[in-house]
Each structure stands twice: as structure tokens, then as C-alpha cells.
Chains A and B, each alone.
Chain A
Amino acid sequence: MRLVFAYIDPGAGSLVIQAIIAGLVSIPFFFRNAIRSTIARFRRAPQPEETKGPTPPEPE
């Protein structure tokens, strides 16, 4: 059992659904970032810092 420590009630249902939604949206998120960083690499040799997300993470 792992408790989430928060002074506001994060809500049991809200925690469950956000995990599900996050799983779903992480797939397009990964591909968008991958495409973006590929484009950036082709544009300029040293990659600029403008990517909004972090470097493409591994899909889960």
C-alpha cells in the first residue's frame, strides 16, 4: 500500500483515471517528441533547446 501524501484530496477515482489516461496519451506524446527531435537534428547539428517536452522517453 502506497499512500499519496497531499494536503488536498487527490481523489481515489482521480488517481486511477489519471494513470489510465496518462498511459494512453503517452504513446502519441512519445511519437510527437521523437518526430520533433528528429526534425531538430536535421535542421542544425547542435540540437536547440526548444523542444517542449524532455528528450524522447521510452514508451511503456
Chain B
Amino acid sequence: MSDRPAADREPGSYRDPSGFVFRRDGVLYRQVNQTFADDWSAFESSGLHAALLSKALLIADEPAALDVAAEPGAVAVIRPKEIGFISYPFEWSFSQLKDAALLTLQAQALAAEHGMTLRDASAYNVQFQRGRPILIDTLSFERARPDEPWKPYRQFCEHFLAPLALMAHRDGRLGLLLRDFIDGVPLDLASELLPRGTRWSPGLAAHVHLHARAQRQHADGGREAAPKSVTMSQTRRLALLDHLRRTVEGLRLPARGTEWADYADQTSYSAAATASKETIVRDMLIAAGGKVAWDVGANTGRYSAIAVGAGYDVIALDIDWAAVERHYLALREAGEQRIMPLLADLADPSPAIGWANRERASLLERATADVVVALALVHHLAIGRNVPLGMVSELLARLGRSLIVEFVPKLDPMVQRLLATREDIFPDYSLEGFRAAFMRHFRVIEETVVDDSRRVLFRMERTAP
């Protein structure tokens, strides 16, 4: 062990004693512990592992040498295929979370066909790979025992059903509750926040409202705390899962929710200006070079698509959940695999959460961009959110080495709109001020005025981190 690089256990991988994820020499591995040996071999011998891989429901892996193991007690080590960008459920739009929920139930159904079952149903076990959700926890399956209830039921309801119901029936922004509740939205809270009318929908009445009430009745200490015996036939378990699936499938966002994003499409651009901007951005993207682009303030992804055309994989961030939702649906419809839409507010990026603030990394810790594309963004931060230009520049420099950024001058109608109801306290917001602020972290490679507008596009390279 001595001359081998040390193994670093992933900070988020501590809950499950059956194994854990670690890195050695930068390579990601998963150790399977002795206590899980029987279920692990059943996972293989039942054919479930192969079936999940052939249906692309589970991340692919290859076996690794046992002596790579990070800790004693390993019976196997695997090397899972790495996901390019790790995202979290509170950064997903409604349909992303819904697709992740349905994937989980689909994996459970396939497991049942092989005499196996899911051991957990955490939304964090799902990631997006090539535009589709996929399970990443290879140790989530165990042998199904006859007459046993579905153990992840509570977790599924808290991680998936409750936030989805809240988004569908109350407000699309409530998915952000998952940021405050790492173990899922408490069902009593969901029950309280949901409109009364949802008590008449059989799925939500059962799995959220009655479920919350049952939890209260059996809460700690009470006489009824420990049910003597809860058994459930295979049939009933299948019926329960079928009902859960129908309930999730039946959840839809109200139509007006996704029309919001139309608003953000309105710009002051003429057709000529739009065409000019697209050409300039495309050329700058090609010139910048790299594999990953972060389109910050992507809205519904017009420039993300251009980045894909220029050869990038794209993370498309936007602050508006309706825009992220619409973007995701359009990509899913088109079968576009290279763009990952993500809900994020650059003025308040996803924080690090969970145990010791290390369990789930902050958005900035996950920044991997070669090129950051920030179009029609800076004025929203500088004027809309009062962030000094130097701080905007500093943050963008942290996200990636190249930057394609648009400066929208004060006279532009979109900036005038931001200033319409407030005092202009932004004397430094000018082309000179912008240049001076950004020169602290970048050097300008090229700059071009967008035809038929006053806007300027810059391509810069980072000089200081």
C-alpha cells in the first residue's frame, strides 16, 4: 500500500455500510464491503446488473483489482464511468425531477423481475448523462424477501413525490426546498403547503397527506411507535409501486408556468442584431477552444445550441425555473444529449450542504468550464442585483479560463427597463468601467460591436484566478 497514492473517500458517501465511493490517483472507484457480499453476488447472478446496463438505467462500470480498495473488508472494487458534471435535485426543473423519479421506479420494476429490489430511492442517486437520468449507485439493489414492504417508500415520497407535487400544485420554485432538506421534503410540511384540493386526488391523498398523518401517529416514543409486524405480499408491493408510478406520471405543471419563459425571450434586438450576435458568438466559441462551455443565463438555450454546434458539451444555467423547464423539454423532444439545463442563480449559487458542509459540493466547486458564455447577463447582476462589476468579473473568472461576455450599455432599452423604477446609483456602469473592472482578472483577446445595436461582445482569457 505504501507507494500507492492515498485513497480519498468521497465526502457524500458515508451513509450506506455496504460500500462507498472513493478516489485514488484521481480515478473514481466504488468499494463493496464484505457485509454486502451475498447481495452483490445476487445482483450479478440474477442478471439484474446486465439488464440495468442494457437498458441504460444504471451507470456502466468495470471491475477493478481488489487491492485498489480504500479500506479493509472489501469483497469487490468497481470503477464506475464518471459523470461529467454532478448536479443536484434542487438544481433540476420539474420535468428533470419527474424523469428521475420515473427512472427510479423503472429500475425497481426491473429489479422485481429479477427477484431483487431497490434498497433506497434517493434523488441523489440519479444523475443526468447524455440528456437522460441514470442511476449512479450500483449498490442500491438487494435480494427481495417475500412479504417485505417496500423499504424506500418513505424516501421516495420525500425525495421525489412531495417536491413534485408542490411544484405541480403550488409553485414551480418549491423544488428549491430540497436545498434546505437534504433528506427530502418532510411530508408533514408538504401536506401543509399543498392546496386543500389535493386531498381529493387519490395519489396525493394517500402518499402525501395520509402518509404524513401516519408518520405523526407513529412518531417517536408513542405506544404505536414500533409496528409489531408489517408484511406485504409481492402482489401488494407491485400494486403500491404501480400506484406510485401513476401518481408521479399524473403530476403536471400548470400550463401558465412554462409560458413565463416567453417573457425572457423578448429582447430589444432587431433581426439583424440577433443574426450578427449569433455569428460573433459562434466564431468566438470556435476560437476559444475547449470541451465544456457554461452558458450562464442561458434562458431557453439559443446560445447553448450554438455552443454545441461549435463542439462543446454545455451546462446551461438559468435563474428562471420555467426557462430551465422549457429548455429541458425542448432538448428531450429533440433528443439533444450534449446540453444539461440547470437551475442556478449566479448571485446566490448552490451552496455546499450536508454533513460538515462537504456532503454535496457548492456550484462553484463543481465549476469545470473551459469557456464561460455570459450573454445579456452582466447588467442583471450589476444593476438588477447591485453587484459591483469587479465582483462580477471575479466570479466569472472562477468559473472558467475563457470568457465570452456581452456588455449592454446603459442606454439599451433592457437596461433602461431595469433602471425604470429606481435611482441610478451606478456611475461606473459604462464601457470604460466594465473594461477596467474585467482587466483585473482577464485580458481581452477580441471585441466586436453587435450590428444594429450598442452592445459589445468580448472574448477574454483569464489572467488571475
Residues of A within 8 A of B (CB): 1-2, 4, 6-19, 21-26, 29-30, 52-54, 57-58, 60
Contact = CB atoms under 8 A, between A and B. Distances in A.
28 contacts: A1-B229, A7-B17, A7-B18, A8-B15, A8-B152, A9-B154, A10-B152, A12-B225, A12-B226, A12-B227, A13-B211, A13-B215, A14-B153, A14-B157, A18-B211, A19-B236, A21-B207, A22-B236, A22-B239, A22-B240, A24-B206, A26-B239, A26-B240, A29-B242, A53-B238, A53-B242, A57-B238, A60-B235
A8 B234 contact: no
B218 A12 contact: yes
B243 interface: yes
Interface in B148-188: 148-155, 157
Contact of A58 (B153, B227, B228, B235): B235
B214 interface: yes
B210 interface: yes
B456 to A, nearest CB: 54
B149 A29 contact: no
Contact of B153 (A18, A23, A52, A60): A18
Contacts of B229: 1-2
Given A4-B148, A12-B225, A22-B237, 8 more contacts: A1-B229, A18-B149, A18-B230, A18-B232, A21-B207, A21-B243, A25-B240, A30-B239
Q: Which of B210, B213, B219, B240: most chain A Cβ within 10 A? A: B240
Contacts of B230: 2, 4, 15-16, 18-19
Contacts of A4: 148-149, 151, 230
A14 B154 contact: yes
A1 to B, nearest CB: 6
Interface string B180-208: 00000000000000000000000000110
B81 interface: no
Contact of B214 (A2, A9, A14): A14
Contact of A7 (B15, B153, B206, B231): B15
Contacts, number: 121
Q: Which of A2, A7, A12, A24: most chain B Cβ within 10 A? A: A12
- Can you list the 3 inter-chain pairs with the closest CB atoms, starting with the nearest? A13-B218, A17-B214, A14-B154
Interface in B117-144: 119-120
A52 to B, nearest CB: 8
Contacts of A17: 206, 210-211, 213-215
Contacts of A15: 149, 153, 227, 230
B16 interface: yes
A13 B148 contact: no
Q: Which of A14, A21, A24, A57: most chain B Cβ within 10 A? A: A14
Contacts of B243: 21, 25, 29
A54 B238 CA distance: 9
Contacts of B155: 8
